[in-house]
Chains A and B, each alone.
Chain A
Amino acid sequence: RKEVEQDPGPFNVPEGATVAFNCTYSNSASQSFFWYRQDCRKEPKLLMSVYSSGNEDGRFTAQLNRASQYISLLIRDSKLSDSATYLCVVNTNAGKSTFGDGTTLTVKP
Chain B
Amino acid sequence: DADVTQTPRNRITKTGKRIMLECSQTKGHDRMYWYRQDPGLGLRLIYYSFDVKDINKGEISDGYSVSRQAQAKFSLSLESAIPNQTALYFCATSDRDYQPLNEQFFGPGTRLTVL
Contacts and interface: CB of A to CB of B under 8 A. Distances in A.
B43 A99 contact: yes
A31 B100 contact: yes
A9 to B, nearest CB: 11
Interface string B77-94: 000000000001010001
Given A49-B103, A101-B41, A96 B48 contact: yes
> Which 6 residue pairs of A and B lie closest in terms of their CB atoms, listed nearest first?
A99-B42, A43-B106, A31-B100, A101-B42, A99-B43, A32-B100
Contacts of A34: 103
A41 B88 contact: yes
B40 to A, nearest CB: 7
A26 interface: no
A42 B88 CA distance: 9
A95 interface: yes
Interface string B49-71: 01000000010000000000000
B43 A96 contact: no
B40 A43 contact: no
A95 B99 contact: yes
Interface string A71-97: 000000000000000010001110111
B101 A32 contact: yes
Contacts of B103: 34, 46, 49
| Chain B contact patch, size range | 20 to 34
9 contacts: A43-B109, A91-B101, A93-B99, A93-B100, A95-B31, A95-B94, A95-B99, A97-B45, A98-B45
A97 B90 CA distance: 14
Nearest to A44: B106
A44 B100 contact: no
A96 B108 CA distance: 20
Contacts of B37: 41
A90 to B, nearest CB: 11
Contact of A101 (B40, B94, B99, B104): B40
Contacts of A97: 33, 45, 102, 104
B48 A44 contact: no
